[in-house]
Structure formats: C-alpha cells, structure tokens
Amino acid sequence: MKRFLPALFLILLLSTSNAQRLSALAPVPDWTALEAFQETITRDEFVYLLEEVYAPRQAARGLIDIEPERALIRTTLEPAQTWVLRFAKDRASLRPAPRFWRTAAELTAARAPAEKRPLAGWRIALDPGHIGGEWARMEERWFKIGDTVPVTEGDMTLRVAELIAPQLSDLGAEILWVRQSAAPVTPERPETLKEAARAELALLGITPKRETYDGPDDPERGSTLQFESEVLFYRASEIRHRATLLNERLRPDLTICLHFNAEAWGDPHTPTLVPNNHFHVLVNGCYSEGELRNDDVRFEMLNKLLGRCYNEELAASENVAATMASLIGLPPYEYPGKNALQTGESAYIWARNLLANRLYHSPVVFLEPYVMNSQEVWERVQAGDFPGEQMVAGAMRKSLVREYADAVVAGVRSWAGAQKKETPIQATVPK
Ligand SMILES: [Zn+2]
C-alpha cells in the first residue's frame, strides 16, 4: 500500500493545481500566509469592509460565507475548498493585525519633539506610472500630432516624481524609488512571455492565427501572440515586479502612484483632443464578482482588507485630493460604469480594483489628475517645463509637471499636518 502513496499524492496535487483559477502571471496563493490575521478583526468591521468597500453589490456572494464567529472563504471553486477566518469576539479581544507600515498618526507621534520637519521618519515610495521611453508606444501611453512634442505618460510621470522627490526629502521623508528611469522593473520581455501569452489566449478560447501584427490599425492585432505577450509584459509582469519590490524590499509607509488620465484618443498619430479636463484619486476596492472568481484575486483582496489599508488609504487620499484640487483647479471625474464606486466623503475619491493598488500591501494614493488629450493639457505639454509662471493655454500658469509635483507635495504636507494624536486604524462601522 505504502508504495502507491506517492502516486496518489501526485494525482491529488495535479488535480488541486488544475483546479486553480488564476489571473495572468499570478502565483498560486499561499493561504497559510493569512493565518497571521486570525482574530484580528471583528465580524462587524469585516462585513463593513467587505460589503461597502471591497466587494460591493454582493460581489462575494457564494465565495465568502459569513457566519456569527467566522468567515468561510473559498480557496478554490472546483473542487470547493475553504479557508476559515475566525473573528475576534469583540474589540477588547482583537489581536493586532501584522503590517510593516506605520500610519501617519503613528509616524507623527513617534517624531522627536525637537524635529521640525513634518515628514521626518516617513518612508514614501514614488511609483511613476507606466514605463515611458522606447516602451511608450507599446504600452499605448503615447500620442503625437504631426511634428509637435509627443505626449508620453510614462516620461511625464517620471519627471513629476523627479520634481517631488527633493521637496519631500527637504520635509524629512526618505524617498524610495519604484523606478528612476524609462526602463522596466521586470526582467521579462514580450519575447520571454510568449508561452504564457499562448496559455492566456487558450483560456479565452483563442488560437492565434498569426504571431505578429502590422501596426495599431491591424484588425487582428488583439488575437496575435505579439499583442498578448506585450500586454503581459507591460501590464501584468511589470506591475507584479513593482509589487514584489515594494512589499519585500522598499516596504514604504505610503506609496504615491503618479498617473495622468486620458480619454479615448483613437489613432495615436491623429489623436482626438477633447474639452474635458478632470481629476480623481483611487483607493483599492470595488472588486467585481467576475474578478473575485479568480483564486488569486480573492486572496489578494483579503490580504488588502485584513491588512487594514482602507482607512489610511482613504484618509490620506481625501486629504491629498482636497489640497491638490484647490491648487490645480480641476473638477472631480465621475465614472460612468460599474468598475468604480465613489467612497468616503470626497467626490474625488473612487474605489477601484487595479493590479497596482491591489498588490501593494501598504497604503497607496493613486493619482489621476489631468486629461492628457484635453486641448488645454496638450498645449501645456507643448509649452514644456519652465520655472515660475508663463502664459500657456490662455492663462498664467506653472509648467504642467511642476504644478502637478508642487500640488502633490502640498497634499502630503497637509496630510502630515492633519495628524494630531495616534488614532487606532479601525474602520468606522456606521450604525
Ligand atoms: Zn496611467
């Protein structure tokens, strides 16, 4: 009998791994990592965070069952396997949830009385969105009108980060860079991800007829191996490597993700310019039922929920958004669809499930100011960077990147200034 055991074990292992339902390039979740969160949350707080923030519209129905003393969480769907989270009986018996980051209140309370710099002791990561440079066209963050200056989000966000860093340093913060050049963080490249791309297409029921595509207008582009491996590279692999860097090496108290927004611009060589210009800030939340059916997404959502990022992420985002909005003068963006949900008190703050704010284990302020293909922002990109103010797009203004950077610095400073005493990071459950 004994000699059959290894074979039986192998079959079990294979059937288990076959049952995993994973999103692109996601590792198989290690659910034992969540054991550290046993009895660190009350049932009320868990239900509130799940139903109001992370899985609104009953998105976790059938995936997470809430009982009086515990939650049963599906680790796999077929066959159905379960991990059990035990709630703390009451607030008094809460065990502390493990986390490497400190709240702004804790950082402020820990500051020496003689220390005058408001961000002394803060570890702030700067994450300039996208890659830019030679990758900007591939990642579809590039457009250009005739012979004018191209608009490339990944280069603009890096320039903003370069302007922010010395200012936050002067205020006492330790700056941690997610990237400091127009180069990928991931060692993978589209060529190394071809087999993964083939597997992703197979999951969608697509057998690629062609390996490569002929430019952005190719109607079969989306079903080519080239396109799929490029998306895996700049979206999945790049963000996953940034997350590993942040969670395992940098371990910041706060991460600032810098982006510029855009509306559909069509052909990048004859882009549509729009009159709209707006601003919003994202916190992690609003997972859909479809997203939560992936085992890794359920796992990562719970890690984020139990890690208690929400309260700190929301408060920091509200504070930064209010300060930035008053300085850059843009109205709040309103999501038309169901992939985002307005959360908290500010019209500028939306909960949305992005790979970056999902995988980053400490609080993230995810900034989306300025519509790159608005007439005004396009004119400001053409004017380039300059000190002081100049007449651009009909008004005296700072350069676009300086206005953005200065507004972020003012926002973080305001967030630090709002700290008075240490407050516990317990979600406020409305009665
Ligand atoms: Zn972006």
How far apart are the CA of 116 and the centre of ligand 1, in A? 35
pLDDT at 114: 96
d(CA 314, CA 311): 5
How far apart are the CA of 382 and the centre of ligand 1, in A? 19
Q: What is the pLDDT of residues 78-112, one digit of tens each?
A: 999 999 999 999 999 999 999 999 999 999 999 99
Report the CATH number of the 104-185+239-417 domain. Answer: 3.40.630.40
How long a stretch of residues is the chain?
A: 431
How far apart are the CA of 156 and the centre of ligand 1, in A? 10
How far apart are the CA of 323 and the centre of ligand 1, in A? 21
The CATH 3.40.630.40 portion of the chain extends over 104-185+239-417
- Span 365-380, average pLDDT: 98
How far apart are the CA of 365 and the centre of ligand 1, in A? 13
Contact between 176 and 125 (Cβ < 8 Å): yes
Q: Does residue 26 surpass a pLDDT of 80?
A: yes
Pick from 137-151, 212-226, 404-418: least confident: 212-226
301, two tokens: 């959502």
How far apart are the CA of 140 and the centre of ligand 1, in A? 10
Strand segments, DSSP code E, in 51-122 are 64-66, 70-76, 81-86
How far apart are the CA of 201 and the centre of ligand 1, in A? 25
DSSP letter, residue 182: S
How far apart are the CA of 130 and the centre of ligand 1, in A? 6
d(CA 172, CA 123): 9
Give the pairing type, strands 390-392 and 142-143: unpaired
Q: Which residues partner with 85 through β-bridges?
A: 71
How far apart are the CA of 333 and the centre of ligand 1, in A? 15
How far apart are the CA of 95 and the centre of ligand 1, in A? 38
* Residues with CB in 5 Å of ion ligand 1: 129, 259
- pLDDT band at residue 147 under the 50/70/90 scheme: very high
pLDDT at 429: 64
How far apart are the CA of 328 and the centre of ligand 1, in A? 18
- Span 404-427, average pLDDT: 84
The DSSP secondary structure of 208-243, one letter per residue, reads: -S-S---STT-TTGGGSHHHHHHHIIIIIIHHHHHH
d(CA 51, CA 417): 32
pLDDT at 425: 56
Q: Where are the alpha helices (DSSP H) in 86-193?
A: 104-109, 153-170
Q: What is the pLDDT of residues 123-146, one digit of tens each?
A: 999 999 999 999 999 999 999 999
Q: Does residue 17 surpass a pLDDT of 60?
A: no
